[in-house]
Amino acid sequence: IGAMVLSKMEKVHWRELLQYRRYVRKIPEEQHGT
């Protein structure tokens, strides 16, 4: 496995993790408002 490929995968994973965290954080707020 090349280092560049690894870094690319890490970047994608990091971005997905960030979106997932934002999504998870949004859910509790909606439940709170209800």
Q: Where are the domains of the chain?
A: 1-34
Q: How many CB atoms lie within 10 A of CB 4?
A: 8
Mean pLDDT of the chain: 75
The pTM (predicted TM-score) of the whole model is 0.39
**pLDDT at 33 (0 to 100):** 56
Longest dimension (CA), the chain: 49
pLDDT at 21 over 80: yes
Phi, psi dihedral angles at 2 (to 5 degrees): -80, 155
List, as one string, the DSSP characters of 1-34: --HHHHHHHHHHHHHHHHHHHHHHHHHHHHHHH-
Mean pLDDT of all residues in 4-31: 77
